[in-house]
Amino acid sequence: MATKNFVLYLLAAFSAAVLSAVIISDHNSHKNNRRINRPSFNSDILDSDDKTWPELAFNWRIMLATLIGFLGSAFGTVGGVGGGGIFVPMLTLVVGFETKSAAALSKCMIMGASASSFWYNLRVQHPCRKVPILDYDLALLFQPMLMLGITLGVALSVVFPYWLLTVLIIILFLGTSSRSFSRGIEMWKEESILKKEMAKPRETFVNSLGELLIDTYEPLIPIEEKTPMEIFTFNLRWKKLMLLVAVWASFLVLQVIKALVCSTWYWILTVAQFPATLAVFGFESVKLYKESEKRKNLGNTESVCEATINWTVSNLIFCALCGILGGTVGGLLGSGGGFILGPLLLEIGVIPQVASATATFVMMFSASLSVVEFYLLDRFPIRYALYLMTVSILAGFWGQLFVRKLVVFLKRASIIVFILSAVIFASALTMGVIGIEQSIRMIHNHEFMGFLDFCSSQ
């Protein structure tokens, strides 16, 4: 019920915001029929000639950016949200990049931190089950839809006015942050009950509460130890990984060879992404559905994968829509889609450790796709990108190491959920404040506040 209410909140708020933008756009078009200049936000994104690339020199700006980047990458990867909402304001306000280059460098940092997190998680044993800590089935389910959504979001970012993007950021980030925080409080209370029960004699714990609590909190109970190499080979599933790489490569090829905007070949290549995406999603959906039905018929209530959700047709459609929504928001707002995927995995019953590992795993593909595109467009300075990626790689590794040890020591996986909520809330503050300030400046300068035409704005 809470998940449905949250989705209804997002749909209602987003619809109201877009409808308001449509009304404002119509009002402006009737009021002024002359040619309208593009607002500065879209100019920053689309004008590749106006570059502001500060020199990479050792000064207080670089030191502060390094500190913020390290903390943002560390906590962002632990929470499974990347940290793009922190990187973009940091790169613009502290270092001095314009929005376009800041967004590109933000993707570089997300890619570095996600790759580091992926490498670390390959050496981490699942807390309670004899399965990889990376849920490849969920990755295959969400990754195609997420990448399709990113393509749609990038296109919409050309059309949407700046103030509307700011409103959507605030709506989404505050909603997901508050929902994640509530989820963290619920988990904290449940963990407290478990710790009290575990402190009692063993027979009391088993007889009074039974399998419900054991199943719910088993992630906090360590299982048999394996050697690091055994864990690595067990977590690395080559066939599923290669399938994910194939999906990534197909999207990359389509983006690289995409023809002139709004030409016939442009629309053909854009539409070609849909059947490829639906084929992979459909394959994984049918697999999960059949396995779920088979277990149900045999009387086995164990989940097919990490999610405790029942894989019915309606739930699979819901996950598809959420994947597209997450990608669209990621492309629209310049994030990696983790602000939707991370909280969503928690909502469908994935334990925090696996939700964090799987979300960063999927973001590694989406962020790297954007980095390749930005590199081909010469959107960021290589030296800055290599430096910030190095910072993010180190932060992603040490952040995962520290928080995972803290979770084991305190026996509270809810710490990961609180970190996720805090990163999203911090992103809402930073990007919201910058967006409001920029929107006020646009109003003061009497700039156009409505929707732009897609083809003429390229």
Task: Measure the CA–CA gap between 30 and 14, rounded to whole angstroms.
Answer: 25
In a domain, 7, yes or no: no
Is 393 within 8 Å of 114 (Cβ atoms)? Answer: no
Q: Which tens digits make up the pLDDT trace of 387-436?
A: 999 999 999 889 888 888 888 888 888 888 898 888 888 888 887 787 78
Q: Which tens digits make up the pLDDT trace of 79-92?
A: 777 777 788 888 88
Q: Which residue has the higher pLDDT, 242 or 327?
A: 242
In a domain, 16, yes or no: no
Cα torsion at 343, 431, 400, 231 (round to 10°)? 50
In a domain, 25, yes or no: no
In a domain, 453, yes or no: no
Q: In 3-state terms, what secondary structure has residue 118?
A: helix
In a domain, 349, yes or no: yes
Q: What is the mean pLDDT of residues 351-377?
A: 84
In a domain, 139, yes or no: yes
Is the C-alpha dihedral spanning 107, 110, 112, 115 positive or negative? negative
**What is the pLDDT confidence band of residue 52, given thresholds at 50, 70 and 90?**
low
In a domain, 35, yes or no: no
Residue 454 has pLDDT above 70, yes or no: no
Residue-range definition of the domain harbouring residue 358: 57-444
The CA-to-CA distance between both ends of the chain, in Å, stands at 42
Share of the chain above pLDDT 70, in %: 79
Domain count along the chain? 1
